[in-house]
Structure 1
Amino acid sequence: MSDEQELTGPATQTRRALLTGAGAVGAAVILAACGSDDSGGGAAPTSGGPAVPSTGDAGGGDREGAQSLARTADIPVGGGAVYPAQGVVITQPTAGQFKAFDSICTHQGCPVTNVDGGTINCTCHFSKFSIEDGSVKGGPATKPLPAKNIKVTGDQISLA
């Protein structure tokens, strides 16, 4: 059998099919990973503060049936944290005052990515929103971020 025959025989065709299939599976895994904006369910820390898991209560147990998103200490004064899995941004404009807004930019529906410099920021097209009331502070967005209801119980923050 010549070298040329070995390269075009049934074994080579089987190897090609196997490699082609493996490549398709690898591409599907990569695409699935790239298609998700979920950062593991926790907060995307922005202006400080640790990430908090999306399941259970940050304090160790659910209180009054509400699922805690964060502890008050996790939200820096003058800043905030984005919780993409829950679709909310929690801010603390002044000490002890907590606000919450939808985490989807009103410009073209991109998720906001961080809270920095006193604004909630969308890095898709650089819209900026106030941490106090969600109003537009810059960029192409023309509508404010909708407010969300939250409840602060002790040191726990949950959606109301």
Structure 2
Amino acid sequence: MSEIRSVPEAQTGPTRRQVLQAGTGIVVGLGATTALTACGGGSGSDGPTPSGEPVTVAKADIPVGGALLLDTKYAVTQPNAGEFKAFSKTCPHQGCEVSQIHEKSLVCACHTSLFSINDGSRESGPARTGLREVAVREDGDNLLVG
């Protein structure tokens, strides 16, 4: 006698995984889950350095002792008054984007790696190296980043 097996019905909507991947950052928990699936396998590479036309940012927008995360792939810091540095926001752990600032650290929320605003070096977390430094030059009251 042959065994009767039920065949699953055709799916009519997106899968749970597709919904999670599309819903980046809706809720902190979902944002972390989404980023985890988005950053793929653990290659541990340093990640790409952003390229293209330099981005202009006003010096006044960057707090002394703090940082500004640009809409582009850059983070710009001012560790000390008048000293500006820029870094790629691509986390060297698995390529997620640094998306938060906590005290004097840049934070990759995917796996909680922390990087110094002073020099982009790794402070903690699974990342093995720091963020890649990006060229930044002064242009009057602005900075040209990248």
Interval containing the TM-score (normalised by the shorter chain) = 0.5 to 0.7
Gaps of 5+ in 2: 1-11, 26-52
Runs of 5+ consecutive residues of structure 1 not aligned to the other structure: 1-19, 37-65
Distance in 1 between the 2:124 and 2:68 partners? Answer: 19
In the other structure, the counterpart of 1:120 is 106
Relative to the length of structure 1, the TM-score reads 0.57
Aligned to 1:90: 76
Residue aligned with 1:109, SS: coil
TM-score of the superposition, structure 2-length normalised? Answer: 0.62
Counterpart in 2 of 1:69? 56
2:144: which partner in 1?
A: 158
Cα deviation, residue 158, structure 1: 1.3
Equivalence for 1:132: 118
Q: Are positions 1:142 and 2:128 aligned together?
A: yes
Partners of 1:104 and 1:112 within 8 A in 2:
yes
The one-letter amino acid of 1:121's match is V
More helix by share: 1
Structure 2 counterpart SS, 1:158: strand
CA RMSD of aligned residues (A): 2.5
CA contact (8 A) 1:81 1:114 kept: no
Q: 1:95 to 1:144 in 2, by over 3 A?
A: same
Tell me if the contact between 1:79 and 1:116 (Cα under 8 Å) persists in the aligned partners.
Answer: no
Runs (4+) of structure 1 exceeding 4 A deviation are 30-33
Percent of paired sites with the same residue: 40
Q: Residue type of the partner of 1:70?
A: V
Larger radius of gyration: 1
- Following the alignment from structure 1 to structure 2, what is the Cα–Cα distance between the partners of residues 155 and 83? 17
Deviation at 1:108, TM superposition (A): 1.0
Q: Tell me the matched-pair count.
A: 105
